[in-house]
Amino acid sequence: MRKELLASWALLVGIGLMMIGNGLQGTLLSVRATLEGFDTQTTGVVMAGYFIGMMIGSAVSAKLIRRVGHIKVFAAAASVASISILIQGSIVDPWVWWLMRIMTGACLAAIYVVSESWLNDRASNENRGALLSVYMLICTLGMGSGQFLLNVAEPTTTSLFILISILVSIASVPILLTARPAPRFDSSDSMSLVKLYRLSPLSVQSNLLTGAAHGTIFGMGAVYAVNKGFSTAEVATFMAAFSLGGLVLQWPIGWASDRYGRRELLLWISLLAAVVAGFVMTIDAGSPRFFLAVTLLGGLVMPMYSLCIAYLNDRLNPSDLVAASGAMLLASGIGLTAGPISVAFLMGQFGDDMFFAAIAIMFVLVALAVLRSKATREVTAQDIEDQSPILTAGPIGSPVAAFNAPDAEEYAVALAEDQLDVLDELASEEGPPEPPR
């Protein structure tokens, strides 16, 4: 493990700097848009542009990497992302910002593909989970800590835009200076969203709604905070609380799902998230109890994508896992895009408290989808022991490299074979089954 971390230090440092800049950028744009007088609906559309770009970038980045290589794509994406934020700081116009948000999303998608596929190539089956966990820890901490840079300068100036550009630009330097060869890159087959829905309606429904909640939090959270009269420091704390909660509860929720079943946990976590979101609406905004409740909500909401992916993986043949993750990305992208746009409309029409009300409704719908799955007897893993290990999802629920990473399909097959070996060993220890009486 130590050897792989040392071999990947350039990539990990680069992605860490990138996430700090990305975390600051989303909050800064929401705050600045509100201060510039953009109406709530317009801000929602602008912020949703990032997720549109994510879907575009994840679709085209594989071709670019195969053509010019990982390092060049990472450097080009970082350069374009750096330029796009400078344009947003120089030209305050909603259409320009929307186009630049699309550009930023496409660039970050390419960077995620490069990073995750690079790490996947460097890892072995024995340490892959640990290495990707370190990667996700760096991403989450980067996104969360980036929020507090909002306090460095006034959002109404160009200083923070320049700071983000510097961070994003520096992020490519360690990658460009690395002497290690880049990994090969092979894309895998794809699966349509319709086919995936037929295989597991609950996976698609829960993933789409979870994506909508994530898009709402990171697209409209800062707008809600500014409209509530939060100071700059309180806005940063509010946004960081979601990431902190997800970081703290990711492992306990994964542990519980391994022991009590994915679908049961999807039901109870969804109901609890809906209750907490409704409870937050009754607390004085900005009070210590408010921020504590938001942290708890983030802890429930942020790990949901990992839970959705794990639930799906338990229901597919190993050879279908890689292709299916592409369709899951599409479902997530639809939700991520639709969430901030629809919630921005609701906030504009019915008030800022619709931010939390909408999140509560989304997870009530997830719970209803789980109950429907139970009623229609959607196929489920026969035993909890047959479940695949839960894996931490990417930043704001977008592991865009999952269906393009080199050796991903071979890893999925090897993982399934290892699980079968374990079951065979347990069966041999228990002895042959008794004949029926």
Question: Per-residue confidence of the chain (437 residues) as pLDDT tens digits?
Answer: 667 666 677 778 888 899 999 999 999 999 999 999 999 999 999 999 999 998 888 778 878 887 888 788 888 999 999 999 999 999 999 999 999 999 999 999 888 877 777 776 666 656 666 676 677 788 888 888 999 999 999 999 999 999 999 999 998 888 777 655 555 555 555 678 888 888 889 989 999 999 999 999 999 999 999 999 999 999 999 999 998 998 888 888 877 877 777 888 899 999 999 999 999 999 999 999 999 999 999 999 988 887 887 788 777 776 666 667 677 778 888 999 999 999 999 999 999 999 999 999 999 999 999 999 888 865 554 444 445 555 444 444 444 444 444 444 444 444 444 444 544 554 455 444 444 44
CA distance 336 to 398: 9
9 contact partners, CB below 8 Å, separation of at least 6: 174
Would you give the distance in Å from CA 75 to the centre of its chain?
A: 22
Per-residue CA distances from 70 to 132, 166, 256 (Å): 18, 21, 37
Q: Was domain 188-403 assigned CATH 3.30.230.10?
A: no
User: Under CATH, what is the fold of the domain 1-187?
Assistant: Growth Hormone; Chain: A; (1.20.1250)
Residue 64 identity (one-letter amino acid):
L
- Write out the residue limits of the CATH 1.20.1250.20 domain(s) in the chain: 1-187, 188-403
Contact 278, 356 (CB under 8 A): yes
Phi, psi dihedrals of residue 381, rounded to the nearest 5°: -60, 140
CA distance 313 to 360: 26
